[in-house]
Amino acid sequence: MPLPYRRLVVKIGSNVLTQDNGLPDLDRMEQLVGQIVQLKTLGLEVIVVSSGAVAAGRSLITLPAQTDAVRSRQLLAAVGQVKLLSTYAELLAKHNLLCAQVLVTKEDFRDRQHYLNMKNCFQELLQQQVIPIVNENDVISVTELMFTDNDELASLIAAQLDADALIILTNVDGIFTGDPRLPESELIREIAPSDKGFDTFITAQRSQFGRGGMLTKCHMAHKVAKLGISVHIANGKTAGILPAVLAENAVNTWFRPSKTASGKKKWLAHAQSAVKATVQVNAGAREALSTPGKAVSLLPVGVLGIKGEFQKGDIVQITDEAGQPLGLGIAEYGAEKAQERLGQQHQRPLVHYDYLFLNPDLA
C-alpha cells in the first residue's frame, strides 16, 4: 500500500545533478523531472529544493584559477541559477507544468511574520499547481547568512509547509553502519524518533560538489522526524526512486516520524538564529523537561539565571547548569519580570509547553 503522503519536499543534492567532471547531468535532471511529474499525476503536491546552480555556472563560464573562492561561488551561482531554472522550466513545460523560482537566505526564516508571508506565497503556488524550485541565494549568502547546506534549507521548508514527508536524494542508498563502499557495511532501513548514537559510525566527510555530508543529513532528518514529518534518504541515481519510495519498495533509510508538532514548534526547531537571550535551568527542571511523553512548561522555580535581555514573545535558548543547550522557547513575559520571579514557586510559566521545542537528543 502506498505511503499516505499528500505534500512532499524533494531535495536533490549536488552529487545527484553533477557529473564527475563537475558539469550538470542533464539526463539525470530529465529523469527526475519525469518522476516528479508522476507524483503530480498521483495528486501529490511537490516542492523541489534543488542544488546545482554552481555546476550549471561552470558549464557557462570558466574562471581563472586564482579567483577568490567566495567570489567564484557567487559568480557561478548567479550565472548558473538562470540556467538551472530555465532547464527545469523547459523540462516541466513538456508536461504542461509551470515552475517558480524561490531563492532564500537564512535571514528569511528569522522573523515570524516574514516566515508566514513566505509560507503564504508557497501555499498560493501550490494552489495554482505551480512547482516551487527552491535554492539558497548564493549570491548574497556568505558566512553567517549561509545555511549549513541545502539539507538544512529543505528541512526548514518541510517544517514551514507542514509537509508529510521530506525525501533527500543523494548518491548513496541511505544511512549505513559504516563506509558504504565497504562490503561489511549494512544499510539501516529504519530509524525511530527515540534512536540515538547512529552518528558514531557516519563519516563527517563532505560531498564532492556540495557543502554537506551524511552526518548533517542525519542530524537534520532526525530533527525533522521529531516534528512529525517522515524523512527518507535515498539514492537519486536509482531509476524511478521517487515513485518507489512512495510505493515502499525502494532501498532507503526511513526516519520514522513522531507525533505531529504545532506550527509554532516547527518554526522554533529552526529558529536558533533568532535567539535573544539564554535561560539557564537547574537539574530538576532539566529532568522534568526531558521526561518522555510528558507535556512540561518551563516554570520560574526551575530557572537559575538569565543572560541577556528579552521581551514577551522573543525566542530564548534554554540551557542546563553546564551550559548544554536543551531547546528553544517563546517567552511568556520579559526578562525583567523573569528576574523578579527567579526560583519562585506558583508562578506563571516563563515558557509554555505549546511554545517550547526541546532538542531531539535531550535525555
Report the alpha-carbon distance of residue 310 to residue 116 in Å, rounded. 22
Give the least confident one: 1-15, 153-167, 340-354: 1-15
With 70 as the cut, is the pLDDT of residue 204 above it?
A: no
Report the alpha-carbon distance of residue 179 to residue 134 in Å, rounded. 30
Helices (H), ranges, the chain: 14-17, 26-41, 53-58, 69-93, 112-127, 150-160, 214-226, 241-246, 263-268, 283-289, 335-340
**Annotated binding residue 226:** no
Mean predicted confidence (pLDDT) in 290-316: 89
**Annotated binding residue 137:** no
CATH entry, 272-358, from 1.10.10.10, 2.30.130.10, 3.40.50.300, 2.130.10.10? 2.30.130.10
Q: What is the pLDDT of residues 16-55, one digit of tens each?
A: 999 888 888 999 999 999 999 999 999 999 999 999 888 8
Q: What is the mean pLDDT of the chain?
A: 86
Report the alpha-carbon distance of residue 264 to residue 140 in Å, rounded. 28
What is the H or E stretch that residue 316 is in?
strand 315-319
Report the alpha-carbon distance of residue 217 to residue 220 in Å, rounded. 5
Q: What is the pLDDT of residues 240-254, one digit of tens each?
A: 999 999 999 999 999
Nearest to 253 by CA among 272, 225, 289: 225
**Annotated binding residue 51:** yes
Q: Which three cell numbers stand for residue 171?
A: 548518491
Q: 88 near 99, Cβ under 8 Å?
A: yes
Query: Residue 54 burial (CB < 10 Å; 0-12/13-18/19+)?
Result: buried
Its pTM stands at 0.76
Report the alpha-carbon distance of residue 103 to residue 70 in Å, rounded. 18
Mean predicted confidence (pLDDT) in 147-176: 90
With 80 as the cut, is the pLDDT of residue 1 above it?
A: no
113 or 197, higher pLDDT: 113
With 50 as the cut, is the pLDDT of residue 163 above it?
A: yes
Amino acid making up residue 69: A
**Annotated binding residue 138:** yes
Q: 33 near 92, Cβ under 8 Å?
A: yes
Q: What is the DSSP letter of 98?
A: E
Report the alpha-carbon distance of residue 238 to residue 187 in Å, rounded. 15
Q: What is the pLDDT of residues 45-94, one digit of tens each?
A: 999 999 988 888 888 888 887 777 778 888 888 899 999 999 999 999 99
Report the alpha-carbon distance of residue 103 to residue 363 in Å, rounded. 37
Question: Which pLDDT score, from 0 to 100, does residue 207 have?
Answer: 46
Domain with CATH 2.30.130.10 in the chain: 272-358
Q: Which three cell numbers stand for residue 293?
A: 511523553
> Concatenated DSSP letters for 16-80?
HHB-TTSSB-HHHHHHHHHHHHHHHHTT-EEEEEE--HHHHHHTT----TTS-HHHHHHHHHHHH
Q: 303 near 281, Cβ under 8 Å?
A: yes
Instruction: Write down the CATH number for the domain with range 7-265.
Output: 3.40.1160.10
Report the alpha-carbon distance of residue 63 to residue 239 in Å, rounded. 34
Q: What is the pLDDT of residues 101-129, one digit of tens each?
A: 998 888 788 777 788 889 999 999 999 99
CA 158 to chain centre: 7
CA triplet 97, 168, 43: central angle to 5 degrees?
35
Domain with CATH 3.40.1160.10 in the chain: 7-265
